[in-house]
Structure 1
Amino acid sequence: MSDSTPRPSVVVVGGGVAGLNAALYTARAGFETTVVNAGESILRRNGHLENVPGFPAGVNSRTFLDLLEEQATEAGADLVTGEVVSLRRSEGRFVADTAGDEAYAGDYAIAATKSNPGYLDGFDLDRDQHGSKTYVRADDRGRTDVAGLYVAGRLAAEPHQAAIVAGHGAKVGLSVVEDSDVPYYHDWVAPEGYFTGRGRDVPPGVEEIDEGERAERERDAMARMREAFDERHPEEPTMHPSVADDADE
């Protein structure tokens, strides 16, 4: 995307695994991305996360979430704290209003909270009720009946598993990009010559890097991972609220 091309914007409600992965993909595609998060992800209740790809011995869920936040931020997403009490349309954009009287706007909106969609009451959306949980109906790419409004993760009735909602969040983020007018092929870092060596232009969203750049990025990645896993995470798992309440009595 050239500097003269206006960047689309997206507001993501919910900063858990699904929301952060959606934000990662929109931010990397050049969208102005704001993630509004009311509190800690439910994944921080996990004792030890043992079923996400790439961690054969498992991973501390709080470390995992910290890294997701860092990754989204470094891609360009803006993470802010606030409880979204309503999502509405104003002058052709989506506006997320918070309990603290802040407002965050975007050309697109992704609802990625767990299963509490009261802030979406201003839209005519089909919903499914399963016990105490409410889900919003959408297609398999997270598109709702409201143009430009998407749902990701648990709110879209995806299984309550980190790897699954991570993938769904990424898929929804890509849906936003692909549904926009932004030229886009894949989010991919390719070795130098992969496209240009065949006389092709590097497609939108793709980057070619030479051997020196590849080695530097790999060294940086190794150093970041060593730092992240050098010591145990200082925070303990968050206990279920009902257990915590009983302990206080």
Structure 2
Amino acid sequence: MTEKTSTKYDVAIVGGGPAGCAAGVFCSRAGLDTVVVSNGRSTLQKCAFVENYLGFPAGIEPGTLLDLLKRHAREAGCTMVEESVETAAGDEDGFVLTLDQESVTTERLLGASWSDSDYLEALGVETEPESGCGSVSVVPTDDCGETNVENVYAAGRITDTHHQAIVNAGDGARVALEIVREVDPDFYNDWVAPDGYYESYDREVPVGVEEIDHSERRRRAEHANDYMRAFFESS
């Protein structure tokens, strides 16, 4: 039997849908070594067509949106792994996730998968029945998205958040920022500001903020336009 390789991360996110990818973007952009583990079966794929995700006024196909979300997380610096989580366990370094082909060690774990939370229950994470008429279990969290187990977080539908993709994305981003600020209390915002913005207020540029000049702004805008044009032309 081949021994599974192990890689260590600051944050491991289980779930590659709107919540998981959004969390990955914010964690990685804040400098946290982040892996997003997904089994490729996002609940988003249950939709026939997505018409209420901000930024797509004519709507977008679920598969296309999911592709964009994963691309965004990857471009932000996330390691994307398409495997299932077999088991999860705590150790002296945090947590170890055993996947199909490898294992992942992480200091912090964020569950953003739906509707399988068995790997979290193995860590002692409490669950409760879904509100309303649901027949599955969800994970209760505090206001920061942390479960009853220290350094284990949850976001999106797994926490009984509304069944809306954009709401789940926002929840993933919110919890990610809580994790970032736990790691670095001085972190302000993930924001790209015009060059000299903070100097005009006689302030230092806060942690998490990047200032860029006009030429860099134009370069990034042109790259973004070219990237999106090429993506949709090839879809």
| TM-score (normalizing by structure 2) | 0.90
Partner secondary structure for residue 87 of structure 2:
strand
| Residue equivalent to 1:53 | 54
1:116 counterpart letter in structure 2: D
| Residue equivalent to 2:5 | none
| Residue equivalent to 1:102 | 102
| Residue equivalent to 2:40 | 39
In 2, the alpha carbon distance for the partners of 1:92 and 1:22 equals 22
1:21 counterpart letter in structure 2: A
CA shift, 1:78, in A, is: 0.1
Partner secondary structure for residue 71 of structure 1:
helix
**Which residue of the other structure, out of 156, 160, 175, is the alignment partner of 1:157?**
160
In 2, the alpha carbon distance for the partners of 1:30 and 1:156 equals 26
1:78-227 equivalences under 5 Å are 78-98=79-99, 100=100, 102-130=102-130, 131-181=134-184, 183-227=186-230
In 2, the alpha carbon distance for the partners of 1:79 and 1:180 equals 22
In 2, the alpha carbon distance for the partners of 1:142 and 1:58 equals 30
Q: In 1, are the aligned partners of 2:93 and 2:106 still within 8 Å (CA)? A: no
1:33 counterpart letter in structure 2: T
The structure-2 alpha-carbon separation of the partners of 1:182 and 1:87, relative to structure 1 and needing over 3 Å to count, comes to farther
In 2, the alpha carbon distance for the partners of 1:81 and 1:25 equals 20
| TM-score (normalizing by structure 1) | 0.85
CA shift, 1:8, in A, is: 7.0
1:64 counterpart letter in structure 2: L
1:61-76 equivalences under 5 Å are 61-76=62-77
CA shift, 1:39, in A, is: 2.0
Partner secondary structure for residue 34 of structure 1:
strand
The structure-2 alpha-carbon separation of the partners of 1:206 and 1:8, relative to structure 1 and needing over 3 Å to count, comes to farther
CA shift, 1:209, in A, is: 0.4
What's the RMSD between the two structures over aligned residues?
A: 1.7
CA shift, 1:122, in A, is: 2.4
For structure 2, the 5+ residue unaligned runs are 1-7
CA shift, 1:141, in A, is: 2.8
In 2, the alpha carbon distance for the partners of 1:163 and 1:174 equals 17
1:160 counterpart letter in structure 2: H
CA shift, 1:90, in A, is: 0.8
1:176 counterpart letter in structure 2: I
In 2, the alpha carbon distance for the partners of 1:47 and 1:14 equals 20
| Number of corresponding residues | 225
In 1, the alpha carbon distance for the partners of 2:226 and 2:62 equals 20
Partner secondary structure for residue 107 of structure 1:
strand
> What are the superposed Cα offsets for residues 194-238 of structure 1, whole Å, 9 maximum, x if unpaired?
11233321111000000001111111111122222225x4xxxxx
1:183 counterpart letter in structure 2: D
Q: In 1, are the aligned partners of 2:83 and 2:101 still within 8 Å (CA)? A: no
The structure-2 alpha-carbon separation of the partners of 1:82 and 1:192, relative to structure 1 and needing over 3 Å to count, comes to same
In 2, the alpha carbon distance for the partners of 1:122 and 1:42 equals 23
In 1, the alpha carbon distance for the partners of 2:154 and 2:228 equals 31
CA shift, 1:101, in A, is: 5.0
Between 1:145-154 and 1:80-89, the stretch displaced more is 80-89
Between 1:143-152 and 1:115-124, the stretch displaced more is 115-124
CA shift, 1:182, in A, is: 5.8
In 2, the alpha carbon distance for the partners of 1:121 and 1:149 equals 11
